[in-house]
């Protein structure tokens, strides 16, 4: 009312209210507040027709909302009550934020009735706008969300703009993909909160963080080493005169059925040691962290380390068997599998149940 008609409130009296509503409707025919004022005048006429002594008035808040708007409404309603000596209030609004001032009105005079004006085509739309508005404000002004909704896109646009200006369009696209992929990975696997929780634990947290990062790096090196070993063999061995295994498989993928065993064998053989070292470092870091915290969970970590040791020899022998099948390798593989199964049976049947029963009283 104030912004679109420039009228001062409160506006008291039927004729003044009708004039204000008409002016507002002419200024903005789609404004729901104009319908609310007309409905208020209609309600006033109905009450007068029933023989009740009443008066109609229009009060406004503030465009900024919040405490300032509530305070302004309270002051204007107090002014109307003093002029009319009313003993109760019939509150008429179009819903939405207007109904948030009901507690303010109740603190001044009893609310006899509440009448909500519903414009048939706009009620759901208005509520949707209100919900979307709240979420948008939260995404923009709340620090927890703004760093993802504004910060990350801002970094992407800034870096991409600099690269485009420098004439490096491909690098801009690559940087955008890398940043988006990194953000999705971090949020998808909860990496940021996991690291924060580790750091907050003090010295043991730093120990876990160091072992985790180190193990990931060593495992990545192991994967790269295994892949390089596989490529080195595939590029030096000839599938036919003048054609290497790598070229043959690349041109005819069906040949993978012929050379796939050795390719997988060299892949495992080249990286198994580093990958197992990385996994052992991670388990050792968890073990030391639990020992430092005097937690019984160190027994579970020790169990994992023993499992890794038992699995290393079958996996290493399996890669050797794929590279060069032979009776010796097959017998060794079977022996290692049987020894591993026996050791795992002893661990799971005798030691692990004791570890679990001792863990139960410790609620961490």
pLDDT band at 65 (very low <50, low <70, confident <90, very high): confident
The domain boundary residue, chosen from 67, 90, 121: 121
Q: Are residues 95 and 150 in the same domain?
A: no
Q: Is 167 left (phi over 0), alpha (psi -120 to 50) or beta?
A: left
Phi–psi pair at 6, nearest 5 degrees: 60, 30
So what's the pLDDT on residue 358? 52
User: What are the Cα distances from residue 223, in Å, to 208, 262, 263, 266, 322?
Assistant: 22, 16, 14, 11, 18
Q: Is residue 130 part of a domain?
A: no
Is the model's pLDDT at 330 over the cut of 80? no
Question: What mean pLDDT do residues 316-337 have?
Answer: 79
Q: How far from chain centre, in Å, is Cα 308?
A: 34
pLDDT at position 362 is 46
Task: Say yes or no to pLDDT of 276 above 50.
Answer: yes
How many percent of the chain have pLDDT more than 90? 14
Whole domain around residue 172: which residue ranges? 142-188
How sure is the predictor about 351, in pLDDT bands with cuts at 50, 70 and 90? low
Whether 212 and 181 share a structural domain: no
Q: What is the pLDDT of residue 28?
A: 84
Among the residue ranges 149-153, 201-205, 293-297, the one predicted with the least confidence is 201-205
Quote the CA–CA distance of 199 and 189 in Å, as a whole number.
Answer: 17
135 domain-assigned: no
Q: Taking a C-beta distance cutoff of 8 angstroms, is the pair 119, 32 a contact? A: yes
Residues 214 and 177 in one domain: no
pLDDT band at 170; cut points 50, 70, 90: confident
Cα distances (Å, whole numbers) of residue 262 to 234, 250, 268, 322 = 9, 15, 10, 5
Q: Which of 46-60, 179-193, 194-208 has the lowest mean pLDDT?
A: 194-208
Q: What is the mean pLDDT of residues 338-344?
A: 80
Same domain (yes/no): 211, 250: yes
Q: How far apart are the first and last CA of the chain?
A: 59
In a domain, 129, yes or no: no
Q: Is pLDDT of 179 > 80?
A: yes
Mean pLDDT of 223-250: 85
Based on the domain organization, do 216 and 351 belong to the same domain?
yes
User: pLDDT value at position 363?
Assistant: 42
* pLDDT of amino acid 219: 92
Closest by CA position to 221, among listed 209, 231, 229, 232: 229
Out of 50-54, 97-101, 197-201, 203-207, pick the least confident: 197-201
Residue 231 lies in a domain: yes
| Model confidence pTM above 0.95 | no
Q: Is 137 a domain residue?
A: no
Residue 75 predicted with pLDDT over 50: yes
Name the 3-class secondary structure at 50. Answer: coil
Residue 360 pLDDT exceeds 50: no
Burial of 299 (0-12, 13-18, 19+ CB in 10 A): middle
Quickly state the pLDDT bin for 201 (edges 50, 70, 90).
low
User: Can you read off the two tokens belonging to residue 70?
Assistant: 């509530």
Q: Please give the pLDDT value at position 55.
A: 93
Q: Considering the domain boundaries, does residue 249 fall inside one?
A: yes
What's the average model confidence in pLDDT over 114-142?
72
DSSP one-letter string for 159-194: HHHHHHHTT-HHHHHHHHHHHHHHHHHHHHTTHHHH
Compute the distance between CA of residue 264 and CA of residue 278 in angstroms, rounded to an integer.
20
Whether 61 is in a domain gets the answer yes
- Residue 273 C-beta-side C-alpha neighbours within 13 Å: 5
Lowest-pLDDT choice from 71-75, 133-137, 165-169: 133-137
Low-confidence winner among 1-5, 65-69, 360-364 (lowest mean pLDDT): 360-364
Residue 289 CA to residue 205 CA, distance in Å, equals: 7
Q: Are residues 35 and 179 in the same domain?
A: no
What is the C-alpha separation between 239 and 202, in angstroms, rounded?
57
Question: Is it the case that residue 122 has pLDDT exceeding 60?
Answer: no
CA–CA gap between residue 186 and residue 340 (Å, rounded): 36
Mark whether 61 and 173 lie in a shared domain. Answer: no
* pLDDT for the residue numbered 344: 76
> In this structure, are 214 and 355 located in the same domain?
yes
CB 284 within 8 A of CB 240: no
How many domains does one find in the chain? 3
Q: Indicate whether 282 pLDDT > 80.
A: yes
Same domain as 235, residue 178? no
Please indicate, yes or no, whether residues 214 and 184 belong to a single structural domain of this protein.
Answer: no
Say whether pLDDT at 319 is over 70. Answer: yes
Report the pLDDT averaged over residues 321-342: 78
Question: Could you tell me if 261 and 328 lie in one domain?
Answer: yes
Do residues 307 and 353 both lie within one domain? yes
Q: Put residue 27 in one of left, alpha, beta given phi > 0 → left and psi -120 to 50 → alpha.
A: alpha
């Amino acid at each position: 009312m104030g912004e679109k008609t420039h009228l001062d409130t409160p506006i008291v009296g039927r004729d003044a209210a009708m004039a204000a509503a008409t002016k507002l409707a002419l200024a903005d025919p789609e404004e729901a507040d104009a319908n609310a004022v007309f409905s208020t005048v209609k309600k006033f006429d109905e009450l007068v027709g029933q023989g009740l002594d009443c008066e109609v008035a229009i009060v406004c808040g503030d465009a900024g909302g919040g405490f300032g708007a509530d305070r302004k409404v309270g002051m204007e309603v107090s002014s109307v009550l003093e002029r009319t000596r009313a003993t109760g209030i019939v509150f008429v609004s179009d819903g939405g934020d207007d109904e948030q001032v009901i507690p303010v009105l109740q603190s001044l005079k009893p609310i006899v009735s509440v009448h909500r004006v519903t414009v048939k085509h706009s009620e759901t739309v208005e509520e949707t706008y209100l919900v979307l508005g709240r979420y948008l404000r939260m995404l923009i002004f709340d620090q927890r969300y703004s760093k993802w909704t504004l910060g990350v896109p801002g970094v992407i646009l800034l870096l991409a703009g600099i690269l485009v200006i420098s004439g490096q369009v491909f690098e801009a696209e690559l940087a955008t993909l890398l940043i988006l992929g990194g953000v999705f990975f971090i949020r998808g696997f909860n990496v940021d909160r996991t690291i924060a929780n580790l750091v907050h634990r003090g010295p043991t947290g730093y120990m876990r963080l160091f072992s985790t990062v180190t193990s990931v790096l060593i495992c990545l090196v192991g994967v790269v080493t295994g892949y390089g070993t596989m490529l080195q063999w595939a590029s030096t061995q000839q599938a036919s005169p003048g054609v290497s295994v790598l070229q043959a498989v690349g041109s005819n993928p069906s040949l993978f059925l012929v050379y796939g065993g050795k390719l997988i064998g060299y892949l495992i053989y080249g990286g198994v040691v580093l990958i197992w070292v990385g996994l052992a470092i991670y388990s050792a870091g968890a073990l030391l962290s639990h020992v430092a915290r005097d937690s019984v969970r160190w027994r579970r970590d020790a169990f994992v380390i023993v499992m890794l040791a038992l699995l290393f020899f079958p996996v290493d022998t399996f890669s050797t068997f794929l590279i060069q099948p032979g009776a010796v390798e097959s017998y060794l593989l079977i022996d290692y599998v049987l020894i591993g199964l026996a050791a795992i049976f002893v661990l799971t049947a005798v030691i692990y149940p004791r570890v679990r029963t001792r863990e139960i009283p410790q609620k961490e």
